[in-house]
Copies of this chain bind each other. A is one copy, B any other.
Amino acid sequence: MEQMDGHADSPELEQLYRDFDANQLSPLWTQREGLMPMAPEPAAVAHVWKWQTLYELARRSGDLVPVGRGGERRAIGLANPGLPGTAYATPTLWAAIQYLGPRETAPEHRHSQNAFRFVVEGEGVWTVVNGDPVAMRRGDLLLTASWNFHGHHNDTDQPMAWIDGLDIPFSNYTDVGFFEYGSERVTDEASPAVSRAERLWGHPGLRPLSGLEDTASSPLAAYRWENTDAALREQLLLEDEGHPATVEQGHAAIRYVNPTTGGDVMPTIRAEFHRLRAGVETPTRHEVGSSVWQVFEGDGSVVLGGTEHKLVTGDLFVVPSWVPWSLHSTSQFDLFRFNDGPIIDRLNFARTYIPGENA
């Protein structure tokens, strides 16, 4: 080991360091810059995964790997190249493609980890959350918050794939997770178009008098594409009419929220949907915290740390903390995003920097 001035350590200092090691100690002064950088220096890297590749590998898994108790899910995680040996998309977030063959069932279980599914294409699977069957359809966001029992079953003769998002890396790292097995088959095999959660909670601005206690996670298990699409469409129309509605010119966006609080849908995961008009280029943003995006529809690209990546429907990319990003749209460009925003916000670490803007 060398001292900071480049000189070799003295024998006494060498001995001191050996004694540190022997006593499970480690000096700050030799590693301060790595531990406490001037700005976030994530090990995770920006990366793009192509949906076509993902889907094809998921389909092959469908042929080769059974789904069932133990492995629990036929889910294939995005493994960030900067976090080798893990299946983590970012330090806090897990993102995976999950694939369920015709008539298959993924057995019920529950866990501390917060989870959601987002459907970029297909339909026919019902996720059963605490006994409530929730149809999964294109464009829908489906929640399975911490400690809710859930399983999935494919009610059709077609396979279906979607993405799963969870806080597995965060939960694993902070050692907060519990897990419990449930029923081998889903506890309710009905296939209603609308879940009970939506029937009770899916009315704008109306709260059941039987549900006046706030909940840590949203009681609304399904956020339907029709509503998301309408909300974004109206924002752009309002912008056309000269009224404030969008985040910035040509950029509509919604956050999915817990109707009992107006806050994020789950304590660790934020979910949003963004729509750019054709020809929009968003300002380059540095943000604390990491995000995963999936293109839902349209053509465009993302510039990540200065490198442009072309994107088509289904493609996923991750933005580690403080890596600058900007979206460019060729056509109308729809993207789903989730991130660890609630963690960052609740612990007071939020910062955003847009070069050229006043602080």
Closest to A253 in B: B209
What is the minimal beta-carbon distance from A265 to any residue of chain B, in angstroms?
8
Bound-complex Cα distance A120 to B111 (A): 41
Known contacts A40-B177, A173-B173, A206-B227, then 5 further A-B pairs from the complex at CB < 8 Å, ordered by chain A residue: A44-B175, A91-B175, A174-B344, A209-B272, A257-B259
Bound-complex Cα distance A65 to B30 (A): 11
The yes or no answer to A202 lying at the interface (CB within 8 A) is yes
Q: How many copies does the complex hold?
A: 4
Chain A residues in the interface with B (C-beta under 8 A): 4, 10, 12-13, 16, 19-20, 23-33, 35-42, 44, 47, 49, 53-54, 57, 60-61, 63-65, 67, 70-81, 86-87, 91-92, 94, 96, 111-113, 146, 168, 170-180, 196, 199-210, 212, 214, 216-218, 220, 223, 227-228, 230-231, 234-235, 237-238, 243-247, 253-262, 265, 267-268, 272, 274, 288-290, 320-322, 340, 342-344, 346-349, 351
Chain B residues with CB under 8 Å of A223's CB are 204-206
Chain B residues with CB under 8 Å of A238's CB are 196, 199-200
Chain B residues with CB under 8 Å of A71's CB are 4, 28-30, 32
Chain B residues with CB under 8 Å of A67's CB are 29
CB contact under 8 A between A178 and B208, given known A65-B27, A73-B29, A79-B24: no
Contact B235 A208 (CB under 8 A): yes
What is the minimal beta-carbon distance from A251 to any residue of chain B, in angstroms?
9
Bound-complex Cα distance A344 to B170 (A): 11
Contact B4 A199 (CB under 8 A): no
Closest to A234 in B: B199
Chain B residues with CB under 8 Å of A230's CB are 203
Contact A349 B208 (CB under 8 A): no
Can you list 7 contacts pairing A with B, beta carbon distance less than 8 Å? A16-B60, A28-B72, A38-B179, A199-B238, A199-B245, A204-B259, A205-B257
A204 touches which of B168, B180, B204 (Cβ 8 Å): B204
Bound-complex Cα distance A84 to B74 (A): 32
Chain B residues with CB under 8 Å of A274's CB are 209
Residue among A38, A206, A207 facing the most chain B CB atoms (10 A cut-off): A206
Chain B residues with CB under 8 Å of A64's CB are 10, 12-13, 16
